[in-house]
Each structure stands twice: as C-alpha cells, then as structure tokens.
Amino acid sequence: MLKLYDLGVAWEWEYDVDFVEMIERRCRDRNLTVYFITPENFEDAYNKIKRGELSFLVYFDRAFDVDDDFLELNLLLEKSGVRMINRYEYMLKASDKATMHLELLSSGVHLPYTLIIQPYDENPSVEIDENSLEVIGRPFIIKPSSETGGGMGVKIGNSIEDIIEARKEFPHDKYLVQEIIHPATLGDRKGWFRIFYILGEVLMCWWDNDLKVYQEVEEDEIERYELGEIEDLMGKIYSICKLDFFSSEIAITYRDGERKFVPVDYVNEMCDMRLKSKAFDGVPDEVVFKVADRIAEFVASLK
C-alpha cells in the first residue's frame, strides 16, 4: 500500500539540520506530513519508492549535488510525476554561468563586461583580444563557468598569461573573464545584495562581498534606497533559469552616470542556509524562516 507524504526532503549536510527542521515545523503547523531522506535511511526509502510503497506530493532535494544515489532517486521521483522544488534539468542549466550570462544578456539584463573563453582541453592556445580586456578593465576576475561553488577557482588577473594559467585548473570547463564591479554606497553600506527567490517570493539581504556577512533589508530601506527594481530583476532571472529556489548577488553601480542594478553572481542553485545565529556568515534567521514558511505554504496550496 502506498504511503503518501505531503513533502519529502533529502539532505546530507550536517549544517542543513536547522533549515530542514524549520521546514518540518512550518509544515506541521499546517498539518502537513514530512519525510526526511538522509544517507542513513536512503536505501530503505529508495526501495520503498521503487516498489510504489512511498511517495510525496512535493520533493525538495538538498543532497543530489554531492551524492549520485540521491540524483538517481531525484530523477525517479521526477519521472513519476512528483512536484519537484527545482527540477534537475533546470539546476544543471543554471549551474553553467556562461549559459546564464548569454541568456540574461539577450534579455536586456545589465551584466559585468565579460569574455567567455573555451575550455583549455578544447583549445589550449585560444587567442584573447587585448582590446576586449581594455573594455573589461584591469584587474579582472577569472572564474570557471561551472566549478565555482563557494568561490572555488575564482582568481584575480591582470594579463593574458594569468587567464591562460587559470584555465588549467579546470581544463574541461569554460571560463569567464569579467569586469570587477564597484558598488555604489547607500548610507553607510555597499550597494551589494544577496537576494533569495523562493516560489515567487523575493527576499532581500544586504551582502558584504568582502566580509561575507548578511543583514536583512528592512521594508523602509526598499523605498529609501529605491530597491524595487530588484524584485523585477529577480523575476526576469527566474523566467530564464526556471528554478523555484535560488539566490543571486546583485550590485548597484554607475555606468555612464546612470544607476544600474547588475547581477554579479547570476544564479546560486544550491543555497547555503546556515543560520546567522549559529554562523558568522550565515543567512539571517528571519530570512531562513521565511523561506521555510513559503515552502510549507506552497505544499499546502497544492494539497
């Protein structure tokens, strides 16, 4: 006999415990049932799902990016018609920064001036136009298109030689050579933000890109600093990446004397949701609560 839970949540990272337990509490407040899948009970859960004894109305996977077994389960549930929070095909597309750059650019989004370089394995001696680097400016950022979790592989360069050397770290990956964005000052803060998109809701945080510290944007600050355009921009990013839950880094800068909102980290498809109350560089607890509550609200709406 099939046991159907309202929400299935897969997770394996020890620091996810507060986030997933918050989701569970918000679901139980709405009389929704929740089933956790972890490495400890994975085999039992997988076998039950495959035999048709266990399934979910909605499934939220926080583990497949580090464990192929969870990916196999993710695809099995998706194929069976379970409503996924972040479909795998969309996650895969969003993880490629070169693809996101081109699609956002074609949609009219202001982005850092960027060169996209072929993988080293495909063309070790690719020619780079010096004039293009002058437009980007020096120093510049060099980063792999896909292998950038937690800033991995991101370097600062000044020369073509720096680009050639950086490409060797992930020779199978495309590379982006990008302008360094200098944010405007808003009050006593940098105009730099980490924005969370969760199932149609936009949550704004101030983000210090040097200290890696968050602070939730207050309602009155949205009006005071004229930040309403951020919500429209996140809607446009969503229309391209199609992810239910992701974050973006957006900076306010000036180009030719005009104030522009410029996405710097386009789509972070697997958000770090550690609580600020427990980690210096964590997400404000109130924002994590709102994400968890929105997930529970969404599941309830489907039921």
pLDDT digits over 276-300, tens only?
Answer: 999 999 999 999 999 999 999 999 9
Given this model, what pLDDT does residue 132 score?
A: 85
Q: In degrees rounded to 5, what are phi and psi of residue 26?
A: -65, -35
- CA–centroid distance for 43 within its chain: 28
Task: List the domain boundaries for the chain.
Answer: 3-86, 87-111+181-268, 113-178
Confidence label for 153 from pLDDT (cuts 50, 70 and 90): confident
CATH topology of domain 87-111+181-268: D-amino Acid Aminotransferase; Chain A, domain 1 (3.30.470)
Q: Average pLDDT in the 136-151 region?
A: 85
Residue-level length of the chain = 303
pTM score: 0.95
Q: Does residue 132 or residue 140 have the better pLDDT?
A: 140
Question: What is the average per-residue pLDDT within 206-234?
Answer: 96
Q: What percent of the chain stands above pLDDT 70?
A: 99
Rounded to an integer, the average pLDDT of 213-231 is 97
Q: How confident is the model at residue 124 (pLDDT cuts 50, 70, 90)?
A: confident
Q: Cβ(44)–Cβ(286) under 8 Å?
A: no
Q: CB-side exposure of 44: number of CA atoms within 13 Å?
A: 7
- Say yes or no to pLDDT of 103 above 70: yes
Which of 185, 200, 297 is closest to 251 using CA atoms?
Answer: 185
What is the predicted pLDDT for the residue at 151? Answer: 65
Q: Give residue 164's identity as a one-letter amino acid code.
A: I
Q: Can you identify the CATH homologous superfamily of domain 113-178?
A: ATP-grasp fold, A domain (3.30.1490.20)
CATH topology assigned to domain 3-86: Rossmann fold (3.40.50)
* Whole-angstrom distance, CA of residue 221 vs CA of residue 219: 5
In sequence order, the 6+-apart residues with CB closer than 8 A to the CB of 184 are: 190, 191, 252, 253, 254, 259
Amino acid at 225: Y
Please, what is the average pLDDT of the chain?
95
- Sheet holding 3-10: strands in order across? 34-37, 3-10, 54-61, 83-85
Inform me whether the pLDDT recorded for 149 exceeds 90. Answer: no
Categorize the per-residue pLDDT at 30 as very low, low, confident or very high, splitting at 50, 70 and 90.
very high
